[in-house]
Amino acid sequence: MKIVTANDLKSGAVIWWTGVGWSIDVDEAADVGEDGARVIAREEGAQNAVSAYVIDAEKDGQGVRPAHIKERIRAFGPTVRLDLTVKPADANAVNWVI
């Protein structure tokens, strides 16, 4: 699947396009198919997001998993400060992030 990620303009937080808006939870990311460029143009134009781009991902029983480690770390947070991650209680994180 293709998903869109960006940073929130005000906070800088990593965000994922859900199909109707933005979420900090990668599991809510929507498959944009070939529509990514249009989503990015509209959302950046509306000043809702910055540095948006399309990435490859897979959806499994656990959630949406970006294909590349860089985006998996973006989705999760710093692997060395679990207290600062998006889901500090995610016991399975080590299995899908790294």
Instruction: Identify the residue among 38, 42, 59, 68 touching other proteins (CB under 8 A).
Output: 68
CA distance 11 to 37: 23
Stretch that binds other proteins, among 25-33, 34-42, 62-70 (CB under 8 A): 62-70
Q: How many residues bind other proteins (CB under 8 A)?
A: 23
Nearest to 24 by CA among 40, 39, 13: 13
Q: What is the 3-class SS of 26-83, one letter each residue?
A: HHHCCCCCCCHHHHHHHHHHCCCEEEEEEEEEEECCCCEEECCHHHHHHHHCCCCCHH
Decide if residue 9 touches other proteins (CB under 8 A): yes
Stretch that binds other proteins, among 3-11, 26-34, 35-43, 57-65 (CB under 8 A): 3-11
Decide if residue 41 touches other proteins (CB under 8 A): no
Interface residues with other proteins (CB under 8 A) are 7, 9-14, 44, 47, 50-51, 67-70, 73-74, 77-81, 84
